[in-house]
Structure 1
């Protein structure tokens, strides 16, 4: 019985934090994938008044925020292709306290930017489709997963 209690304490004290961190990073990666990937690109009904207004209504509902994000990037490439970029992150981004990387290739990205002319109760977005390299936040240095977009290059 004492041995079982000792093992339980060992797991809780030494392995517990690693398991929690792993779950948090996996959750961040899944959240990033859900909010920033649209491949193949969907077409929204005319009532959404454009691609970004449609996608941002989904993003805002998923994020459960009442405010309108200023900028949101949507990647139109397969997850597996972007995922490879974080396999080896050589740079540490101190501002984000995470490892980061620049993708080697350019990818199709829609930039959804908040329109300056709008009523305060609505969120209207302008869409810009471009092909750019991505600055990605990664969940670690080695064998990591993308968890965010810092910007485009």
Structure 2
């Protein structure tokens, strides 16, 4: 492989990861009751999801979760309301992807609009690890709203 071939391959991977950032947000944006599987298809089966927060602040999400554990949360929130996520900024390399994003969700009449920084490790075109940085105090409030909305739905 020549230097030009190596550079071309590096640039191709960076471009793919740049496009992956938009797919992440597009597939995480789910209408109420929608399918979350296209989002999780972007990840390896053994992918890890780490939310950088103290366990006491976000008991269900803090620390490292498996793909199935994180899927359970995303599924739960997608039953409560429309989830909209959009890219605000991207930094990509061959095996890492940093995404600045924002969300918009109405939870039982409450507006949840948070800002995020996500760091993804990429292997063979799929995400092998994800680390999430966000306003944990606001996320804690939103999680409470999701729990309340879920309880209200079950009571009907």
TM-score, structure 1 length as denominator?
0.30
Bigger fraction of residues in strand: 2
TM-score, structure 2 length as denominator?
0.29
Q: Which has the larger radius of gyration?
A: 1
